[in-house]
Structure 1
Amino acid sequence: MDKFSQYLKMAPLTLDGGMGSELEQQNINVDNNLWSASALIQSPGTIAKIHQHYFDAGAQGAITDTYQAHVATFLAQGFDSHKAYELIDTAVHLAKEGLALSTQDDGLIIGSVGPYGAYLANGAEYTGDYHLSKQAYQDFHRQRIERLVQDEVDLIGLETMPNFTEAQALAELLETEFSETPAYLSFSIKDGNTLCDGTSLATAVGYFEKYAQIKAIGVNCTAPDNILTALQAIQPQTTKQIIIYPNAGDTYDPQTKQWVDDYGPIDWQELVPQWLNQGATIIGGCCRTTPKDIIAIKQAIDSWCRKV
């Protein structure tokens, strides 16, 4: 049995939180096309420390800093392919280092695979407004997934997927070329019922039920207010574990590549039990969430578990 499946027996699980915003707190400039992956070049030790802080906060899984770390992205920044692959290797190593430095005895290393829209670096992961053939999507994603698998991540995280066709292509790619590696699939949604490209969330979730390799399905990087509605759409359509990791509710401006702080404090103690009662089994945070948020999420999960 793969390590992810073993962990799922202990669900509910806690994931980590935002990386880019934590790097900004450490005065790392991520306002560029590489986004958080630029820290792989500027300050790799900071990434390891952030992973450590999340594990110390109670996270049971670390998402590698490879969301924007695609070979094509590095090539466009003037690096050669050898360096591009080396930087992906570095991201995985840093997640493992963070775990080793932490108070946790063990944890999951999740190889982040962001959508084609992230490569465009124009906010398209929040619109899904791009169109490639199935083959083109697979050709784009193959290199990074292959390297993450070679680096022995515990699972692949297909995250912030706004485009139904792209998600279909990725599921088929995993099944045909990386069948031994488990994965989860997490959509980017424009509201609680709809993918960013307009596809019904319920329809999308139901489609992937046939892919046993995808062990968990859900949503990420949406405001906490959307999560309960999304869970109500997801839960009837799947027998898989349900994964959710909302952002802090702020708004992303693709022109300035900055988050607009327009959302109040999040009451995790109130929200997390609602999400668990609606079927969520893997909960973490996305952009703008912090180790303090993960501590609160873990505490809310533990409190809920003691009561059920």
Structure 2
Amino acid sequence: MRAALADALRETGILVIDGSMSTALEAMGCNLNDRLWSAKALVETPDLVRRVHMDYFRAGADCGITDSYQATIPGLLAKGYSEKEAEALITRSVELFIDARDTWWNAEGLGSGRVWPLCLGAVGPYGAYLADGSEYRGNYGVSDDDLKDFHLRRMELLWNAGADLLLIETQPSLHEALLEAEIAESLGADYWISFSCRDGSHIHEGDLIRDCAKTLAVGHPHLKMIGVNCTPPQFVEHLILELKMGCDLPVAVYPNSGEEYDPATKTWHGNRDGITFGDYARRWMRAGASAVGGCCRTVDNHIREVAKARTIYQKIG
């Protein structure tokens, strides 16, 4: 039986989302300089994927994201895997999460008063498959049929493997997000959509995020949450306000640590602004976020800060 987002929100007030899979894997010694990026670990080091999930549960995460963001059938086929092998690896991303969740719950979670963690089946945009930073630009120049074919089978696999929700994330394009929402609705799958944004008001293709929220809030009964990820933290507070002006859905935010990504070198650089991730998290909660976590360059310590920020926020605001 799948866990429901609404039940988890009632129990926690605010959900703590986990952090980056790739950064955590790299800290464990994984070399992810590959077109498959973190999905490479599904093949080479699945035990480490499981360990990352465990570390985030221990840090306070109430929901976690499967290692399937860049695990796509075309991408895996291009690396020499058969279609059957590609499908098995996408399914494995959910199985690893579920195994880690069961292990943690039986050892620690059951007696701790914590909520049963939600499994979020990660569905990255077409731009992630291109592996050239296109998830920060959009405008791929491919047909709707190609986009639907690209997303459909992975979404089916993640849902059938037991994900509690499909997480359609890092979306630079409202048009692509709508196509994915159509697929999720056809599967009867609960889902949330999270956009990547270029400033405090616009997603990367240029649409106002407020308008994206208004559009998605109509005619999508299985859409349970909307939000922002893989975006600089300084933009997030205003983005929350924009989303809440556009719809009544719960808002989720899990931005980057504050560094900037160079797609040419596949490296991160730049300094954070001196505000702790926990301080940011409290700001986002005050602005109305119903779920808070981290994306690129965040690790379990960032999620501990978020969990602590929630405790403080729920006591004193």
TM-score normalised by length of structure 2: 0.93
Pick one of 181, 195, 205 that aligns with 1:171. 181
Q: Deviations 1:222-266 (Å, cap 9, x if unpaired)?
A: 111010111121111111110000111111111122222432554
| Contact kept in structure 2, 1:134 and 1:165, CA below 8 Å | no
| Contact kept in structure 2, 1:28 and 1:42, CA below 8 Å | no
Pick one of 72, 80, 83 that aligns with 2:82. 80
Q: Deviations 1:242-295 (Å, cap 9, x if unpaired)?
A: 000011111111112222243255423422222112110010100110101100
For structure 2, the 5+ residue unaligned runs are 111-115
- Residue equivalent to 1:13: 15
Give SS of 1:230's match.
Answer: helix
| Contact kept in structure 2, 1:2 and 1:182, CA below 8 Å | no
**How well do the aligned residues superpose, as a CA RMSD in angstroms?**
1.4
1:5 deviation in Å?
Answer: 2.4
Distance (whole Å) between structure 1 residues aligned to residue 183 and residue 17 of structure 2: 25
2:147 matches 1:142: no
My pick for the range that moved more, 134-143 or 280-289, is 134-143
Once the two structures are superposed, the pairs formed by residues 205-216 of structure 1 within 5 Å of their partners are 205-210=213-218, 211-216=220-225
2:284 matches 1:275: yes
Distance (whole Å) between structure 2 residues aligned to residue 233 and residue 61 of structure 1: 24
| Contact kept in structure 2, 1:64 and 1:91, CA below 8 Å | yes
- Residue equivalent to 2:300: 291
Once the two structures are superposed, the pairs formed by residues 177-188 of structure 1 within 5 Å of their partners are 177-179=186-188, 181-188=189-196
| Contact kept in structure 2, 1:248 and 1:266, CA below 8 Å | no
1:2 deviation in Å?
Answer: 5.3
| Contact kept in structure 2, 1:157 and 1:183, CA below 8 Å | yes
| Contact kept in structure 2, 1:268 and 1:300, CA below 8 Å | no
Give SS of 1:244's match.
Answer: strand
Q: Report how many residues are paired.
A: 306
Distance (whole Å) between structure 2 residues aligned to residue 151 and residue 243 of structure 1: 24
Give SS of 1:212's match.
Answer: coil
1:135 deviation in Å?
Answer: 2.6
Distance (whole Å) between structure 2 residues aligned to residue 145 and residue 54 of structure 1: 24
Distance (whole Å) between structure 1 residues aligned to residue 41 and residue 81 of structure 2: 15
Once the two structures are superposed, the pairs formed by residues 9-158 of structure 1 within 5 Å of their partners are 9-10=10-11, 11-102=13-104, 103-105=108-110, 106-158=116-168
For structure 1, the 5+ residue unaligned runs are none
- Percent of counterpart pairs with the same letter? 34
2:201 aligned partner, one-letter code = N
My pick for the range that moved more, 101-110 or 59-68, is 101-110
1:111 aligned partner, one-letter code = G
2:22 aligned partner, one-letter code = G
| Contact kept in structure 1, 2:3 and 2:118, CA below 8 Å | no
Q: Deviations 1:56-90 (Å, cap 9, x if unpaired)?
A: 00001110000000111100000001110111121
Distance (whole Å) between structure 1 residues aligned to residue 254 and residue 99 of structure 2: 23
2:258 matches 1:249: yes
Distance (whole Å) between structure 2 residues aligned to residue 151 and residue 38 of structure 1: 19
Distance (whole Å) between structure 2 residues aligned to residue 173 and residue 151 of structure 1: 16
My pick for the range that moved more, 267-276 or 78-87, is 267-276
CA spacing shift, 1:269–1:121, aligned 2, 3 Å: closer
Distance (whole Å) between structure 1 residues aligned to residue 17 and residue 66 of structure 2: 12
